[in-house]
Amino acid sequence: MCPTPTPAGRHWDGSSRTARRPRPLRVAGTSPSRLLRAGQSHLCRQCGNRIDLYQRTDQRPIALHPGELTAADIPESCRWHLSGGIAHPHGDGSDWCRIPHALLCPRRTPTCHTAPGLEAIRRQLAVRTRRMIDTGVFTPAPATSTQPATVTDADTGEPDRPVVQILLCRYLAERPLNDLRCVAQTRHRHRCTHTIPAPTGPTGTWRLLPATAQHGQLALPDGLMAVYDLGKLPYSEQLRWRAQRCPAHVASGAAELALAGWQPFDPLLHAAHIHTRLPQPPDRRQGRG
């Protein structure tokens, strides 16, 4: 019997010696969202269970339960479906739908009547949360105060979550301005490490502007609030801030690895982040010591 020689470039068992290069993720040009789904699964800060972040039609993020559920067991007001990477607040006519994680989070109170099937999932998540807490794997986030923030002599720097005015609209930032990170993907498939404020580009101005309420809401007692105004910047520069991209990725067409950290500002819902005094420049803060 003549042995069969092993072809060149293959192991003795016939498998290839060269590893296949993984195919990179790409975003279709017609997609309404530039956000890559890779890496968009996070952990709930309240219960530690997995959540999937998606953008809504109003560009605000929403945390959905990772799995699909039977639409017949979900109230119509709680059904969500995905289309082109965008979450829509209603069903798509199929037998399955997605549901916000807030309805299943064991550390939150449900906002609507839940079916027995959802209560069973809620109990499973509660058991998993308790197990993670007991083993030290997860520590729940402390409860945040809903009282308006008061600025004292020691609190004269930049707010932790400043209010920024872009294109005549106000947004609440997720972190200080100098810590806002670009959301674009680099060539090495990592998130860009550059910040949004350009070192040599134009900057905004801290101003005291009226804390106007939304249409149909009661007026707030405080008349003025500190706002980082970008209104005098060029239109293209304001679009760059709104997209949360650094100057190197503003026109590169690179996909996004994270959601932009802007949240439409509501003076009643975000009263705890209203500051009535302007931040002092760094040189003045150092001189006070």
151 pLDDT more than 50: no
Q: What is the mean pLDDT of residues 36-44?
A: 74
DSSP-based three-state secondary structure for 56:
strand
Q: What is the mean pLDDT of residues 162-173?
A: 93
The structure tokens listed for 237 are: 């520069």
Residues 119, 224: Cα–Cα separation, whole Å: 45
pLDDT at 267: 86
Residues 84, 30: Cα–Cα separation, whole Å: 9
pLDDT tens by residue, 229-274: 999 999 999 999 999 999 999 888 788 888 888 988 988 888 899 9
Give the torsion through C-alpha atoms of 172, 177, 183, 188, to 10 deg. -160
282 pLDDT more than 80: no
Among 107-111, 112-116, 192-196, the minimum mean pLDDT is found in 112-116
DSSP-based three-state secondary structure for 180:
coil
pLDDT tens by residue, 75-95: 888 899 988 778 898 888 889
Q: What is the pTM of this model?
A: 0.63
Mean confidence (pLDDT) of the chain:
80
Residues 140, 228: Cα–Cα separation, whole Å: 32
The structure tokens listed for 140 are: 């729940």
Residues 141, 143: Cα–Cα separation, whole Å: 6
**Angle at Cα 190 formed by Cα 189 and Cα 191, nearest 5°?**
130
pLDDT at 254: 84
Tell which wins on pLDDT, 7 or 250: 250
Residues 163, 149: Cα–Cα separation, whole Å: 13
Grade residue 115 by pLDDT with cuts at 50, 70 and 90: confident
